[in-house]
Amino acid sequence: MRIIRSIKVMQDYSGAEKNKGKKIGFVPTMGALHQGHLSLIRQARKENDLVVVSIFVNPTQFGPKEDFKKYPRNLQKDALLCKKNGVDIIFSPSSKQMYPSGYKTYVNVQDLSCGLCARSRPGHFQGVTTVVTKLFNIVSPTNAYFGHKDAQQAAIINRMALDLNLPVKVRVSPTIREKDGLAFSSRNLYLSQQERKEAVVLSESLKLARELIKAGEKKSAVIVAAMRKLITAGRSAKIDYICIVDAKTLKPVPAIPGKCLIALAVWIGKTRLIDNLVVSRKF
């Protein structure tokens, strides 16, 4: 396994491999790798000749008051996990290289980048779509892998790839969870032991929603109210949003249609966690 720091070296390397007819599988990450990332890496390993993982804590997707500075960074540990899971290249550029002085270009996906997480994280998705476009142009992947835990991000990147005719297949894989149901996330590292226990309420509330729908409940408002009640019964949970939206357009739906996305963001102490579930009336 090789660690590449330079954009030019990475671009030349992947361009040359692509020219040899090699399939490149790409997993973009911000490091602090967990089981969710590893499942994407293993899928990429199966479906491609080469696997590239980028590790880059992208400053443009953090708000000024967010956790950019304290976001967990541990390249040594990440590199070990990558090596164990068959990664060929870690691409880990500096911020200065990615956003040099005079940088001015941003990619925007309209509508989908409003609502849900965008309400409390303005500019976040512009940062994501911009860095993903850059990384795609540098790594030239055949397939790129994203987790469904960031459902809004996945929908936005799918739309962007389609709209900009990016010659990349975007693959979205199911959320990977701990035994008790908590979705794997790099931000789980922030949680105290007590908070870790309480964080299970995100997935519990989604399970509750699924049960209610299974039992015939159709009104979004009723389902959200029940989720809200369950979550706020805990000691340190504070709801950012709970939304039931169309799985493709991400527009709120007042009644459960054939297929919808239930998404939520909850503060557990000082840590903001997200989770979601796709449900349809038929299970």
Residues that bind a copy of itself (CB under 8 A): 7, 11, 15, 18-19, 21, 102-112, 129-130, 133-134, 137-138, 140, 159-160, 163-167
Nearer to a copy of itself, 10 or 199 (CB): 10
Q: Buried b / exposed e across 207-221, counting CB within 10 Å, b at 16+?
A: ebbeebbeeeeeebe
Q: How far is the CB of 253 from a copy of itself (least distance, A)?
A: 17
Nearer to a copy of itself, 49 or 180 (CB): 49
Cα dihedral 184/185/186/189 (nearest 10): -70
Q: How far is the CB of 48 from a copy of itself (least distance, A)?
A: 16
Q: How far is the CB of 130 from a copy of itself (least distance, A)?
A: 8
CA distance 161 to 152: 14
> What are the two backbone dihedrals, phi and then psi, of residue 227, each rounded to the nearest 5 degrees?
-65, -45
| Single-letter amino acid, residue 170 | V
Nearer to a copy of itself, 133 or 203 (CB): 133
Q: Which helix (H) or strand (E) holds 28?
A: strand 24-29
Residue pair 261/277 in contact by the 8 Å Cβ criterion: yes
Q: How far is the CB of 141 from a copy of itself (least distance, A)?
A: 13
CA distance 283 to 279: 8
Q: How is residue 180 annotated by DSSP?
A: T
Angle at 62 between CA 146 and CA 185, to 5 degrees: 45
Residue 97 CB partners (closer than 8 Å, separation 6+): 6, 7
Nearer to a copy of itself, 38 or 168 (CB): 168
Nearer to a copy of itself, 167 or 252 (CB): 167
Q: How far is the CB of 203 from a copy of itself (least distance, A)?
A: 30
Q: How far is the CB of 192 from a copy of itself (least distance, A)?
A: 40
Residue pair 127/56 in contact by the 8 Å Cβ criterion: no
The closest alpha carbon to 58, from 6, 27, 99, belongs to 99
| Single-letter amino acid, residue 127 | G
Nearer to a copy of itself, 108 or 194 (CB): 108
Q: What SS3 class is residue 27?
A: strand
* Active-site residue (options: 34, 37, 124, 148): 37
CA distance 6 to 167: 23
- Determine whether 124 is an active site residue: no
By annotation, the residues acting in catalysis are 37
